[in-house]
Amino acid sequence: MTRDLRTRITDELKEAMKAKDTARLGTLRLINAAIKDQDIAHRVDGKSVGDPEILAILGKMVKQRQESARAYEEGGRLELAERELSEVKVIEDFLPAQLSEAETEAAVDAAIKNVGADSIRDMGRVMGELKSKYTGQIDFGSVGPMVKERLA
């Protein structure tokens, strides 16, 4: 039986507390806080945040930390950049493996075929199809131009 992401994160948080791993514990607490923020935002709809939303939150957190690390490196603050990158490693533990270039291209082709896309106007539907199946596994910033090129 697979555990949901929320349970995995909570279990890892407890393990980090027992091991007194303060760096990992801090990152796991940030993840929990981000999930709880989304829970509160969704409370109006009466919904709870599920694994797909948690994957999206984690993906966003990774992207933010990578951008921060780049900014710190450019500013000569290497110790802060290292801390950001160590947080990225902890967050990535909960993300599925990234698809290779060939797998990404195959996924894009399959999505185009599944939605019956034949023009650039169908790009939103193709991206929606990809997001529903591959959240956390694909960098959607690089996939957008790939989809656009195939539909042009």
CATH number at residue 17: 1.10.1510.10
Cα–Cα nearest to 92, from 81, 100, 84: 84
Write down which residue in 92, 112, 139 finishes a domain.
92
- Global model pTM greater than 0.75: no
pLDDT tens digits for 30-57? Answer: 999 999 999 888 888 777 788 888 888 8
d(CA 44, CA 111): 32
Instruction: Give the domain extent around 130.
Output: 101-151
Residues 13 and 86 in one domain: yes
Residues 11 and 85 in one domain: yes
Position 65 scores a pLDDT of 94
Residues 43 and 70 in one domain: yes
Q: In total, how many domains does the chain have?
A: 2
Burial class (CB in 10 A: 0-12, 13-18, 19+), 21: middle
Residues 142 and 121 in one domain: yes
d(CA 152, CA 150): 6
pLDDT tens digits for 53-83? Answer: 888 889 889 889 999 999 999 999 999 999 9
Write down which residue in 92, 124, 143 finishes a domain.
92
Residues 88 and 112 in one domain: no
pLDDT tens digits for 106-135? Answer: 888 888 888 888 888 888 888 888 888 887
Residues 20 and 82 in one domain: yes
Give 3's pLDDT tier (boundaries 50, 70, 90): low
